[in-house]
Amino acid sequence: DAKTTQPPSMDCAEGRAANLPCNHSTISGNEYVYWYRQIHSQGPQYIIHGLKNNETNEMASLIITEDRKSSTLILPHATLRDTAVYYCIVRAQHNFNKFYFGSGTKLNVKP
């Protein structure tokens, strides 16, 4: 599975958009990009996933570059409850093994 690189931390003002980048330059054609987050003392929470098209759901938008070597998770109007560690994961869809979360990005949403 492809390795991902994320900044260790980011700050965002409450109410503004939070844009979290992820590099995955070794991604293979059958690998999806997944985003999860983990709020302190809770289990991880699925956010969104995509293959090559941009995706949007009630929580966030996922923008994947045309060459698929990087992606950005967008939280359109960040709230204090969005403060969490955000993990970008690249994995073939049916590969249960190697679901490696890595260190993620700690997003601090400030009032």
Partner 1 sequence: DVKVTQSSRYLVKRTGEKVFLECVQDMDHENMFWYRQDPGLGLRLIYFSYDVKMKEKGDIPEGYSVSREKKERFSLILESASTNQTSMYLCASTIAGTPYEQYFGPGTRLTVT
9-13 and 105-110 strand pairing? parallel
Contact (Cβ atoms closer than 8 angstroms) between residue 24 and residue 33: yes
Q: ∠ CA(47), CA(45), CA(68), 5° rounding?
A: 35
Show the site string, 22-41: x = touches partner 1 by CB under 8 A, - = not. ----------x-x-x----x
Q: Which of 5, 28, 46, 79 binds partner 1 (CB under 8 A)?
A: 46
3-state secondary structure of 41: coil
Contact 47, 60 (CB under 8 A): yes
- Measured from the CB of residue 8, what is the shortest distance to partner 1 in angstroms? 12
* Of residues 16 and 46, the one with the C-beta less far from partner 1: 46
Does position 103 bind partner 1 by CB under 8 A? yes
Residues of this chain that interact with partner 1 (CB under 8 A) are 32, 34, 36, 41-46, 49, 87, 91, 93-94, 96-104
